[in-house]
Amino acid sequence: MAFQTLAFVLFLAAVCGLYWRLPAGRLWLLAIANAGFYLAAGPANLALFGGASFATYLIGNRVAGPHGRAWLWGGVLANVANLACFKYAGFLTGAAWAHDLLLPIGISFYTFQHISYLVDRRQRSLPAAASYLRFWVYISFFGHSIAGPIMRGHEFLPQIDETAQKRWDPGAMRLGLGLFALGALKKLAIADQLAPTVALYFDAPYALTLGEAWAATLCFSFQIYYDFSAYSDMAVGIGLLFGYELRRNFLTPYVAADPAEFWRRWHVTLSEWIRDYVYIPLGGNRGRYLSASTTLMLAMLASGLWHGANATFVLWGAWHGLLLVGHRAWRAGLGARPAGPLRRNLARLGLFGLVTLGWVLFRAPDVDAAAAMLLTMLDPAGLGTLASVKKLLLLAAGLYALHALEAWGRKDEVGWGRWWVGRTPWPLQGLAYAAIALALMATYPAAQPFIYFRF
């Protein structure tokens, strides 16, 4: 069940209504609802997820005791092997049977949550889940388990433990419905409307002009942002409907002025996971510049490979690794001088252009197609073809302005919220949000799957 469908809205309304009516049975209700959500995608999805989570729970009870290091490595390797079997077997072996395997929904995200739970338990920074019921609700909460945010145990398990004591909060309900409606707007009215244009051009990478290649890639830059941030906004909104606070996963990344800031704003929970469980254990920024840069590159290569079993994703990770290493070298050479408004805005636009070039690697079907598009985009002889796609370039400019407006508006979310709440009774606010979401679903019934569902 995709968030942007009427079936999911009915499912969400039913579960939420029962949740607030039956406080003593909330954990069991959520456990059953989570299982039903995965069962809707097929019994195999539920069986695999349930088996992996139960094994991780049992191992998590042992990693802090005798032979804990062995249990930790066994649990981590088992989870990685499970992910590799379904996601990377074809890439690593080239076997025909491996290419025919269907990727179970949410496997990349719940694998990362499993690993973080085991590592945190081993480091004794996280107490064991009080029961498998609580662990299952934490790992499988349908509001975020398919495509994030990636929630750590210390962030979510304490909230799970307080489930029976949660009280109805009209403010949280309003915000939750508002974020769900905002996500539906981003997904259905923006991301899905860009999808046909992006597909049209990326399906013919060798026949594009410079203007078409840039227009396609700029459109994809906004398609993937509005698609993935839509899911994340809806996930946070769903969490609030049940009294849970999930992490914000996107902080308007295209207004970032340097590569490090971009990764503090783009897919925040994945960036932090890679930092804490890959980059820092490998050495982080300790040691000489070359050693720290190598570690940074390895972390970004891991991030790229996590996205998919394709050389294009590895190259995408390498591209962002080079941007981060290059920025670090630039800062070391010139020092951290304060940037004025003009310089910072130019840096934002320059970084957006570099990030956009990287999206070619992410979206292209293979390395050859990506290389052909990039060579076309960087060939000055084709500048005259920009006029042929001026409408799409103006659309991209408008979407960037909308993105900047979102960044500006989120600086004072509380103030805007007070302004809206002070002028509208809360029942009307909820009805308005629900009406927006339902109207969008009725207007765009042929919704596209979320992009990150394939990861």
Q: Are 147 and 236 within 8 A, CB to CB?
A: no
Of 180, 195, 215, which is closest to residue 377 (Cα–Cα)?
215
User: What whole-number distance in Å separates Cα of residue 447 and Cα of residue 47?
Assistant: 28
Contacts 24+ apart (CB under 8 A), 79-82: 79/52, 79/111, 79/114, 79/115, 79/118, 80/111, 80/115, 82/48, 82/52, 82/107, 82/111
Catalytic one of 114, 144, 267, 307: 307
User: What whole-number distance in Å separates Cα of residue 277 and Cα of residue 298?
Assistant: 12
What is residue 149's DSSP assignment? -
* Annotated catalytic residue 403: no
Q: Classify 146 as helix, strand or coil.
A: coil
User: What whole-number distance in Å separates Cα of residue 174 and Cα of residue 283?
Assistant: 44
- The radius of gyration of the chain's CA atoms, rounded to the nearest angstrom, is 23
Q: Are 253 and 265 within 8 A, CB to CB?
A: yes
Q: Chain centroid to CA 437: how far?
A: 21
Q: Chain centroid to CA 188: how far?
A: 17
Of 34, 26, 61, which is closest to residue 160 (Cα–Cα)?
26
Q: Are 177 and 431 within 8 A, CB to CB?
A: no
User: What whole-number distance in Å separates Cα of residue 225 and Cα of residue 399?
Assistant: 11
User: What whole-number distance in Å separates Cα of residue 400 and Cα of residue 381?
Assistant: 26
b or e along 105-127 (b: 16 or more beta carbons within 10 Å of the residue's beta carbon)?
A: bbbbbbbbbbbbbbbbbbeeebe
User: Catalytic residues, which ones?
Assistant: 307
